[in-house]
Amino acid sequence: MYCKKLVVLVMLISLIPIVYSVGDFQCSDETLLGGCNDNGELCIPSENLLDNDVIGLSSEEKYLYFGDGNCENSLTIGDRNFELVDTGERFTMEFNGFDFNGEINLPCDRNYLGKVSDTYSLYEDCNYCGECEEEVVEEEVIEEEICADFNDDGEINLEDYFMLNDSFGLNKSDEFFNENIDLDKNGKIELTDFFMFSERFGGKCDMGEIKREEYYVVLAQRDDSFYELGQYFADGKKASLLSYENNLEEVLPQLQKIQPMYLVLVLSPQKLTPDFMSYADRFLREIDEDIFLDVAYGYITSFDLEEGYKYVDKLLNYEIPDEASLYGINAEHGFHSLEDYDIETKLT
């Protein structure tokens, strides 16, 4: 009987330091180490080094990593690989530092990496806690020719950034190259486009800026001498410009997504052959599943590029007249007079 009481007493005494030691692993507001409070602050030994694009490690420090959400089981920094410990709620690892300066691949959706310390403090961490209030920035209207609103939603935002990021490194000859994303119009998506985008991020394009209307599409071949004429016409009509390298099938997925009402193919006269016209007619019946023509279409070409620009200018400046014209032909049956429909007529 006395032995049992002694055992129970010993066990209770052994629990006392464990209970009180929890206080050593929490911040001033009692948020536990590695936890977020209601203000979006993370309880950690030091600031999150991953908030910077490039991290620097030192051989004189020890470091703590933890993360959660779709984690891999290892952390790679430079040429070193660390196996992470799965606690059931997160993956973690404490390791001795080494000299390193660069970027790392993050194994989890939410990640923390910082110096080990004996004390813990609260740090605002939007990346980990996701509770930070967005800074209110007064929108700036971009009054210039270059518009970085790639998806035409009226704002230059993160959706446009991802479209730019996913196109990085593409050249004019690549399949998914988008002329609208090439802000400096040099035929490739590179760092200069990112710099130009960052200067415009958070703003809006001027309402008078080119707005790509999805119902009107211009098709042009990238290596054709009339390609620039296609760009010129698309800008003037505020239409979407699709380009291909070898064959029209390259833009079929885009056409199936846009489902345009009107389409214009701009080609040099050397490439606008009867065989191509027959091929294009068959192709434009494949936008949907039936056998019928899926879009009203036409061609623009000319003897040379100079005359082509003159013709396009006439098209862009053309105004639909308010009156209808009636052209008569010799036929067995006469025409109804347009005056019967209260339409002003002009006989020519």
> Hey, which of 2-11, 86-95, 210-219, 321-330 has the most confident mean pLDDT?
86-95
Give residue for tokens 């010799």. Answer: 330
For position 14, what pLDDT does the model report? 44
Res 229: pLDDT: 92
226 vs 128 pLDDT, higher one: 226
Q: Provide the whole-model pTM.
A: 0.36
Q: pLDDT tens digit string along 168-216?
A: 889 888 877 888 888 888 888 888 888 888 888 888 776 444 445 556 8
pLDDT of residue 63: 92
Q: What CATH number belongs to 212-331+339-348?
A: 3.40.50
CATH 3.40.50 in the chain, residue ranges: 212-331+339-348
Read off the pLDDT band of 317 (50, 70, 90): confident
Does residue 338 surpass a pLDDT of 70?
no
Mean pLDDT of 59-86: 88
List every span in the chain annotated with CATH 1.10.1330.10: 137-210
Instruction: Write down the mean pLDDT value for the chain.
Output: 77
**Given the DSSP bridges, would you call strands 41-44 and 121-124 parallel, antiparallel or unpaired?**
antiparallel
Q: Does domain 137-210 have CATH number 3.40.50.880?
A: no
Whole-number pLDDT of residue 125: 81
**pLDDT surpassing 90 at residue 327:** no
Bridge partners of residue 43, in order along the sequence: 122
Helix/strand/coil (H/E/C) assignment for every residue in the chain? CHHHHHHHHHHHHHHHHHHHHHHHHECCCCCECCCECCCCEEEECCCCHHHCCCEEECCCCEEEEEEECCCCCEEEECCEEEECEECCCCEEEEEECCCEEECCECCCCEEEEEECCCCCEEEECHHHHCCCCCCCCCCCEECCCCCCCCCCCCCCCHHHHHHHHHCCCCECCCCCCCCCCCCCCCCECCHHHHHHHHHHCCCEECCCCCCCEEEEEEEEECCCCCHHHHHHHHHHHCEEEEEECCCHHHHHHHHHHHCCCEEEEECCCCCCCHHHHHHHHHHCCCCCCCCCCCCEEEEECCCCHHHHHHHHHHHHHCCCCCCEEECCCCCCCCCCCHHHHCCCEEEC
